[in-house]
Structure 1
């Protein structure tokens, strides 16, 4: 399921308090999706790393009441009121005894004398057994307590998210050019770093910080791995020698059209960032001169940046002339 489908599923399951387990490879953004949906639903989020718990942690510690009987004091990290999401991240990385302690908690919503408040929902997440992450096989008795969702990476949705977060255009342009490198994880290899949505976010932050040119490539290798970093460095050399986007917008009928696909990908991204009511006509005019796939890319990304682009007369003419490509 794509991130948007995971979100739609959670928006259905959280209000009915149905426990959910989200499966996915490392670095795809499982915990971020849970946090985003909780915020959208205006739910409190309590994030527990199950791998850090001991089997007795959920139950708490005993105390002697005035009548001489023993009662259990639940831990402070468990909610006592309101509505929210109790997120058990890395649940299947927890030792079997910790997973066993979650049986009653997840199905019956209680452990010992503690009861999860009415408005709270349990969501768990973890890596798949084949991902070479630290995992323990989930017992069938625990597995049967969840609705299971499989998380898949979607390039277009990640690009939308990255634009919303303001990640540097250089990284977004490269991911458009090499979408297979958004997430490239081989569990059979012993790579310390590999391309993933999480690690490309790291790379974007590194570039935004303006690293010393002598160490930039090493930092990128440390974030996304040597293979992806080498391709990105080659792409960046082209990207940083692009025609001036302002000059293209000023004279869209005469501006140069690069021959290299990598350069065109990068230029389309740079132009789309400048989309607005005052530049829409020029951007559409330049798109009309591009090969069809790049024209669609430029116009689509421009509309994402500035929806008002669709209101300019040039857009209607361009869409009519390119209806065979759009539909």
Structure 2
């Protein structure tokens, strides 16, 4: 029919869109988690583009997309249907997988999209546990080339929604999916952001793994209560919370983010989406301290030391250097610390050196002459103290 043919031509023109490289933190977080082979759960209101983002991601990565609406399936669709053989007493009863799982195995790779997860009843969520963690559907194991991404609406905006069960929630990296006004407007104009897997630097793989392990193990050594902390409120158990499983996922994400040179914003989204806001922010803070210079290196060459711009990190470096002098009080180390404090006062807020300078002055031993650096510091310290007194008045 000519009319329908013309309509089809118009529809083709509307579907003809392009992509462009564009900074998009949530899309970058999604692609990094997919590269790390971790299940991702996108949380967002209906109609904001979660499904469209998955279609575009599959196309950009050249992966076949298999969409499964979790809420319209039975538990047996994920655990498998029993199939009787010739002699069940000898051969057993195999669990036959559904057709979509067979297609994924035949293809060897793909993007499995579990949509409407928050409308799946508890029995279906229980059946999904093995699929999400072990990649098993009935007697079939999905190949390593298959990645799993799910989407859910908050319960308040989901049709007949259920809270996500704690065991299932703890298997996902939770990402809050929102829309960007400029992205939507430009996309409706025909150009959408391009999804791309992160570029991993082969030279940084081993250091990235070592850094991730050092950061996670260091935090959990200092804060053992963070190893496993299931939320007391049932509603919060359907999100990200710390457990040995989610810390292992966080370690993997941190290694991938380090090897890819990922921004702090993207890393923050990922770690908070895996172990929760509180533990995630503590890990980010410990990462900042992890990257600080070694106090012994600073004392060996204070003139070459690179001081952080951020005030809290700079104060941490100065405090660590003074503490290193206190542990091994030698004259040359004491003088080197004064030289560092003088540099800090000249290149940053002088009030940051007041406490370290007072502590360092108390470490002076008989016979140690006052180094010239103290004279450079005296004016800055006096000015800082006068400002404090003025503020108190």
TM-score interval for Structure 1 and Structure 2 normalised by the shorter chain: 0.3 to 0.5
**Normalised TM-score (structure 1):** 0.48
